[in-house]
């Protein structure tokens, strides 16, 4: 198999993975990441409060429920990081897995801190909670993902541009040039 053929196979494989994960409505992200988010939040809040966990709802002091819905888990943010990671050509398999794992771990850590922080705000002043939650949801969630991605680009010395580098290669080797 020549070098150009290998690049075509690589592009096909990377984008096939992205589509395969997307079609079942991102369930794999929620299946894996829900317990990885809910249990640490439950245990951290348990340090400060009497907590009970019922499915994805943390009940604080037997009266205040904190319901961690799918949006709290941020499956689409993980998917965006996966898209960015898989849309970069020329990265060997081990490095790509390491990049995805590190970006997911950072996002998971930041998301757990966000949920715990919002829980404390919710318990302290509900009016401020709504504003803080909306600010974090509409503005900071995008900033978190972009910051993680730019950090990854710098740390792993990524030179290619997501999608564009693949499109440039495909155009160069197509009948459209």
Residue 12 lies in a domain: yes
The percent helix, strand, coil of the chain (3-state, each to 5) is 75, 5, 20
What span, in angstroms and rounded, lies between the C-alpha atoms of 75 and 81?
A: 10
Which secondary-structure segment (H or E) carries 128? Answer: helix 126-135
Q: What is the pLDDT of residue 161?
A: 87
Are the C-beta atoms of residues 82 and 18 closer than 8 Å to each other?
Answer: yes
Q: What is the pLDDT of residue 68?
A: 93
The total number of structural domains that make up the chain: 1
Range of the domain at 167: 3-172
Q: What is the pLDDT of residue 11?
A: 81
Residue 177 lies in a domain: no
Residues recorded for the chain: 177
Residue 94 lies in a domain: yes
Are the C-beta atoms of residues 89 and 165 closer than 8 Å to each other?
Answer: yes
* pLDDT under 70: residue ranges of the chain: 1, 176-177
pTM: 0.85
Q: What is the pLDDT of residue 164?
A: 82
Q: What is the pLDDT of residue 39?
A: 97
């Amino acid at each position: 198999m020549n070098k150009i053929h290998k690049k075509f196979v690589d592009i096909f494989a990377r984008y096939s993975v992205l589509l395969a994960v997307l079609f079942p409505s991102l369930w794999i992200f929620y299946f894996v990441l829900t317990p990885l988010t809910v249990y640490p939040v439950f245990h951290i809040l348990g340090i400060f409060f009497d907590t009970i966990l019922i499915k994805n709802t943390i009940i604080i002091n037997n009266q205040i429920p904190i319901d961690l819905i799918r949006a709290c888990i941020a499956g689409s943010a993980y998917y965006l990081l996966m898209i960015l990671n898989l849309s970069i050509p020329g990265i060997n398999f081990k490095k790509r897995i390491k990049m995805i794992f590190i970006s997911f771990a950072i996002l998971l850590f930041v998301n757990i801190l966000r949920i715990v922080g919002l829980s404390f705000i919710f318990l302290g002043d509900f009016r401020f909670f709504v504003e803080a939650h909306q600010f974090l949801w509409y503005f900071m969630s995008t900033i978190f993902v972009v910051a993680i991605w730019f950090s990854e680009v710098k740390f792993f010395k990524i030179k290619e541009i997501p999608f564009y580098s693949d499109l440039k290669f495909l155009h160069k080797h197509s009948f459209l040039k």
